Amino acid sequence: MTAPLGLGVLGAADIAVRRVLPAVSRTPGVELAAVASRDPERAGAVVREFGGAVLPGYPEVLADPRVHAVYVPLPAALHGRWVRAALEAGKHVLAEKPLTTDARETAALVDRARRSGLVLRENYMFVHHPQHRTVRRLLAEGAVGRVRVVSAAFTIPPRPAADIRYRAALGGGALFDVGGYPLRAARMLLGPGLRVTGAVLRRDPARDGVDVAGSVLLHRADGAAAQLSFGMEHHYTSRYEVLGSAGRLRLDHAFTPPADHRPVVVLERAAGTERRELEPYDQCLGAVQAFVRAVQSGRADSGAGGEDPVQQAELTAGVHRLAQYALGGDPR
C-alpha cells in the first residue's frame, strides 16, 4: 500500500479552513501533515479538526520530511517567496491564485518546477467542474456556430474594511482577486492567442488605492473577442455567455457554485431555447483530487489541462500595462 501524500499548509487562511482542508480530508491518498500560522491558536484549531502537527514557522514545514507537498493560501504578494522556497525544498505546490503578482516571477517558478520534476498548480478550482467540459463539448460540436464573443463577469459585494483584498502591499485589488476568473474563462473558451485590447480599472483612494472594479477587452487574431467585468463592490454575479454565428450559450454560477448546485446550461438557437440540467459537483474536491493525481502520477507539467499559469500571468500583466485608471470610491 502506497503511503499517503503528506500535505503541509503555510497559513491558516479562511479558504484553507473552510474549503480546501475539508476537501483534503475527503480525498484518498493525501493527509494533512503539518500547519504553520502567524496565529498558533488558529493553527492548533486546524490540526484538532483535520489532523497533522503544528510547527513553529513556514521554514519548519518545508523542512519536515513528512511533508511532500505544500498548499499556499497566503496573501498574493507573499506567494512568490514561499512557492520558490517550497520548490527549493523539493516540495510539490498547490498555490492559491494568483500564483504570483509578477509575470516574470511566475514564469521563473513554473520553469523551476518543470526542471525539478515537481507539480506546481495555481488553484483556480472552477476549471475542474464538469459543467465547463459540457460547455466546451457543445462549442466543439458547433452548438452556437462560430464563436464570435465571450462575455464573463465575476463580482462580489464589498468586503470588511480590514480585508487583505484592500491592502496594496499584500497584492490586493479586484484584478488579482476576482478578475482572474473571467480572464481564465476567456482562455478556457477561446483558447490560446488572446491579447489585451484595452482595459479600465477603478481605484479607490479609501481602499489603499487598490483597484476595486474593472473591465477588459481581449481579442484573438481571427476577430473573436472577450468582454470581461469584475469587481468587489457589486451585486454578486458569476456567469459567462458565448455568442456565436448560430446561437448563444449561457451559464450562471460559473465560478463559485455550491457543491449541491445543479448547473443549467442554456442554449438559445433559431429553433428555440434548450435548458440542460447537469449533476451537482464539488469543484474544490475536484481541484484537490486533480493535484493529488498529478503528484502520484509523476506528471510534473503545471500546464496540464490548459491550466498554464504563465499565460494567465501574462494576460494579467497586459491588463495592468494597457489599463486606463479611474479614481473614486462608492458614489453612495
State the catalytic residues: 97
Contact 202, 325 (CB under 8 A): yes
Distance (Å) of CA 223 to CA 27, 197, 198, 277: 43, 11, 15, 31
- Write out the H or E segment, with its range, that includes residue 53: strand 53-54
Question: For strand 92-95 and strand 69-72, is the pairing parallel, antiparallel, or unpaired?
Answer: parallel
Q: In the beta sheet, which residues pair with residue 122?
A: 95
Separation CA 286–CA 288 (nearest Å): 6
Pairing state between β 147-155 and 225-231 = parallel
All cell numbers assigned to 98: 494568483
Helices first, then strands: H and E counts in the chain: 11, 15
What crossing angle do the helices spanning 103-116 and 76-88 adopt, rounded to 10°?
20
- Whole-angstrom Cα distance, residue 311 to residue 304? 13
Radius of gyration of the chain (CA): 20
Residue 37, helix vs strand vs coil: coil
